């Protein structure tokens, strides 16, 4: 079963290195493996880290005996990531798991020796951390998730929901280069749909209420967030403020829709973290990240919150309903 799961995940070409690493951990290590965790600007309770732990447990690791976790706290601050990454390297972790492009950049510029498993990044090749998807060639591998095409699709969903929509508000954090790039491209995508973008930089929690007031003054008709580990911390407040202002909203992951957002389109975070655990397992067994293929998240889902739709007085078009993977009643 283990081999079939990994073959499905990485493709048949992965079989040779899977066979080479089989049995490498037949005996418990003399000391526990140390896994460093760098969650971007997200707090641990904002992501399904429990799924990562559970998957490693399923793979045979026992926390405290064969594996330990070093959580790098960044106080919900992108600027703290380089020092947090340096701290993990100083603690001689065996592998670093990162969430988001800013986190992998901090880790990859800190060390070229410690293996890095990146998840939730838009483009590891474009960012210069990998040579190819099939053979990354360096110390970084992982799974892509927040690609540009997904941001474009979210804006298209808002236009499909409200054909007369003229201006969409987008929230982002300018400390993240990935978010800044996504915002710039969102202007082009909106223009293709005869819309304009009102962008708002959220640097701290206190910026949210003024941001929504400014969007109201700018006649914004709907809301989208850029892929952001920082904004994920405030998903409940963002969803509530959007509802209070009567704004249809589309977000990057199911967690927002569960918190009361109208729609989400993006990767399955729990599955993303479970896949990251499988990468970690292979690296701890001896596989080099340079030889571990980079995968693009395939388990994408459109989630609708019909309770929020009713509260907004919206009727979800049938064209969107039929494509929904999950409907929150």
pLDDT (tens digit, 9 = 90+) per residue, 88-121? 999 999 999 999 888 999 999 999 999 999 998 8
Residue 15 pLDDT exceeds 60: no
pLDDT tens, position by position, 187-217 = 999 999 999 999 999 999 999 999 999 999 9
Residue 139 pLDDT exceeds 70: yes
Please give the average per-residue pLDDT across 63-87, as a whole number. 89
Residue 163 pLDDT exceeds 70: yes
pLDDT tens, position by position, 281-293 = 999 999 999 999 9
Residue 61 pLDDT exceeds 60: yes
CA dist 158 to 79, 104, 161, 202, Å? 32, 30, 5, 21
DSSP type of residue 79:
G
Q: What is the pLDDT of residue 14?
A: 42
Strands (E), the chain: 33-38, 67-71, 95-99, 116-121, 140-144, 167-172, 196-201, 222-225, 249-251, 263-267, 295-296, 300-305, 326-328
pTM: 0.85
pLDDT tens, position by position, 46-56 = 889 999 999 99
Mean pLDDT of the chain, nearest integer: 88
Residue 74 pLDDT exceeds 80: no
């Amino acid at each position: 079963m283990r081999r079939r799961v990994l073959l499905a995940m990485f493709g048949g070409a992965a079989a040779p290195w899977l066979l080479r690493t089989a049995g490498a951990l037949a005996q418990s290590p003399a000391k526990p493996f140390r896994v460093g965790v760098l969650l971007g600007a997200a707090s641990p309770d904002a992501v399904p880290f429990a799924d990562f732990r559970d998957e490693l447990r399923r793979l045979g690791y026992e926390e405290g005996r064969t594996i330990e976790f070093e959580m790098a706290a960044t106080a919900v601050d992108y600027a703290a990531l380089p020092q947090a990454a340096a701290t993990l390297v100083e603690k001689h972790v065996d592998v670093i798991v990162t969430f988001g492009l800013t986190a992998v950049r901090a880790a990859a510029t800190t060390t070229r020796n410690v293996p890095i498993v990146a998840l939730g990044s838009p483009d590891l090749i474009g960012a210069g951390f990998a040579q190819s998807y099939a053979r990354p060639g360096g110390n970084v591998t992982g799974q892509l998730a927040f690609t540009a095409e997904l941001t474009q699709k979210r804006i298209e969903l808002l236009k499909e929901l409200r054909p007369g929509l003229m201006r969409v508000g987008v929230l982002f954090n300018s400390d993240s280069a990935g978010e800044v790039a996504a915002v710039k491209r969102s202007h082009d995508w909106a223009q293709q749909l005869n819309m304009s973008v009102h962008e708002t930089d959220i640097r701290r929690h206190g910026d949210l209420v003024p941001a929504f007031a400014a969007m109201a003054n700018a006649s914004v008709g709907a809301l989208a967030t850029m892929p952001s580990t920082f904004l994920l911390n405030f998903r409940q407040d963002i969803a509530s403020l959007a509802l209070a202002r009567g704004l249809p909203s589309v977000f990057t992951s199911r967690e927002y829709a569960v918190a009361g957002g109208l729609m989400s389109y993006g990767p399955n975070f729990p599955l993303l973290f479970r896949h990251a655990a499988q990468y970690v397992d292979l690296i701890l067994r001896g596989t080099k990240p340079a030889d571990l293929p980079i995968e693009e998240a395939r388990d994408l889902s459109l989630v609708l919150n019909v309770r929020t739709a009713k509260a907004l007085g919206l009727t979800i078009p049938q064209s969107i309903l039929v494509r929904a993977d999950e409907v929150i009643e």
